[in-house]
Amino acid sequence: MLYFKLALSDIKQNKLSYWPFFWAITVLTVINLIFQLLTLNPGNDSLLGGDSVQRMLSFGTQIIFLLTIIIALYVHNFIMRQRKKQLSLYYVIGLEQKHLSFISILEDSLAQLTSLLSGIVISLLLSKVVFLILAKLTDLGINYKFSLTTKAFANVIELFIVLLLVFCVIDVLSIHHLNPLTMANENIEGEPKSNWVIGILSLATLISGYYLALSIKAPLAGISRFFIAVVLVIIGTYTLFIAGSIVLLKMLKKRKKYFYQPTHFITISGLLSRMKENATGLASICILLTMAILTAIVTFSIYLGINDYVHQSTPYDAMIVDQIQKRSPAEARKTIEPTLTKNNVQIKKQVNMKMTTPDAFEVIGNTLKPNLRKANTTIAVITAHDYDKIQGTKTHLKNNQLLVQSDKQAKMPQERIIISNHVYEIKQKINNFKFAFNYQNTVLPPTWIVVSSWKQAKDFSNEEALLASGFKLKGTSKDQLEAGEKLTKDLSYSVFHSQVETKKSLNSIYGSILFLGIILSSTFIVATALIIYYKQLTEGYSDQRRFKILQNVGLSRKEVKKTIHSQILLIFFSPLILATIHLAFALPTINKLLKSMALISNTTSFIIIACGVIGVFAFVYLISYWLTSNVYYRLVEQKN
């Protein structure tokens, strides 16, 4: 009973440390349990797109699991460091190591189990709401059922019980090596030496990472290169904060007019004495913040680009694309009309074109070479006759002339094209071909070429010609979806495409990606906020004695607050500024990668989304700054 009272007393005395631990474990429990409930939901298997949602949720569960372990260990490590002082006092007054271990295990158990129970209760209250949000984002509809599964609860409880056992082992080992005589000097750290070599190398590493990211021309081929750039930036971030920050502070210290102002003197001296420990935390905040913002930007961009993707893959309400000898335009209509009519859907208009089977080409200057491995684009060719019927134009082309519609990433020539020893003049670049679509949704940007006759088209492809028929339909989305699902099953997706069905399928995939992105970004923010909070607590506890001495020798309350404000500004906003710089160099390549995978099509929209997300995260960061500065101020200020 005595040990239980001591454990409760320690928790109450260290409530500034334990409250964030309690909320962190509670939030992590909620996130893990909701993910488990959604992943193991039996209703996932019964609907179109449910398997895609389940795959994304399973992937998210693994990431959240890993983040939970990292965050929980970080928070527990901080609490153990703060707890050592109290345990050392118990050790001095006669308690043995086994008693201290028992008290520590009791504290861990009380905090962990209370947090776990709270998380389970909150999860039960929120799970249905989160499920409805997921159902809305993925457009799975009212038939998507949700039910609780005992396996989900068992998995989460098992995770946090294992974490509790790990905490207990860490506590016992720490207490075994506890030496009360060294506790008084534990937080005293000499001023580090500035290392110009590492400081310069950190800048060189960062610049190299930025250069690699910006120099990627073919995003898909350059994924490995981008990964190297990410590693370099992470290394550069840590070394810049560890060595570069000390070099900067030393430079400021040498500027006597600046350094010997009371506010600057206290701030710089304090930072120099503890910069090694601060630097790692600041770098971690910077990396986590970058990951959170980047995850949010990518997921929102993909989700909001669904309509563009649908139009790129299926420009008409319904399409049939098949080998031309298998069905004529009239037969294409007959193939789908009975099913459409049965579902109260009518064909308002039909558009047809004969096209080459799109082939992959490598663009070398003005020359096009079939090369799947090094391809820049896929090329489909139609005749001017079909083009004019679709566009309502009158195009006059000579045998050596053509029209071209292509994306910038295709790197198509501007004036002439050389293929199969034939030279073609590019008469005009077009950008509004109504029947342009991405055949089989390849990752290569599609190029459309218009030639004078089918004879010229054969220079680009020897494969069997295709007939593409597009249909404008009249009917409700629900009726079109039911007809589309039936026709897709009968004809296969490679032959029949429906806008409504494509959008439904994409909503399930992209909606689950957005849901996962929101949860991951939130988890990164929780981790960032915890590191910031505990960093400020560490600073506050370290500075209590120093600021008390300064107040005793005459430093006013106003000067204390001004000094604190200066120090927190310097510490707090450096990760946000550097994270924004990281994003400025990463986003161009991310934009190219998403466009090359046909996940987005509009760079302007991507930039607007990026700016909006960065703005929201900066606002959240400012709120965190305001809250943590108050905690820090209350710790270090001594009121008269």
SS (H, E, C) 241-306: HHHHHHHHHHHHHHCHHHHCCHHHHHHHHHHHHHHHHHHHHHHHHHHHHHHHHHHHHHHHHHHHCH
Which pairing describes strands 401-405 and 416-419: parallel, antiparallel, or unpaired? unpaired
Output the pLDDT for position 560.
66
Output the pLDDT for position 44.
63
pLDDT digits (tens, 9 = 90+) for 385-401: 999 999 998 988 998 99
E strand or H helix at 350, and its extent? Answer: strand 346-355
pLDDT digits (tens, 9 = 90+) for 507-549: 777 777 788 788 878 877 877 777 777 777 776 776 676 677 7
Structure tokens belonging to residue 273: 């004495």
Residues of the chain with pLDDT under 50: 184, 639-640
**Long-range own/partner contacts, residues 130-136 (CB < 8 A, 24 or more apart):** 130/34, 130/38, 131/37, 131/38, 131/41, 133/515, 134/38, 134/53, 134/511, 134/512, 134/515, 136/511
Domains of the chain: which residue ranges?
316-498
pLDDT digits (tens, 9 = 90+) for 593-621: 887 776 777 788 889 999 999 998 888 88
Strand partners, 513: none
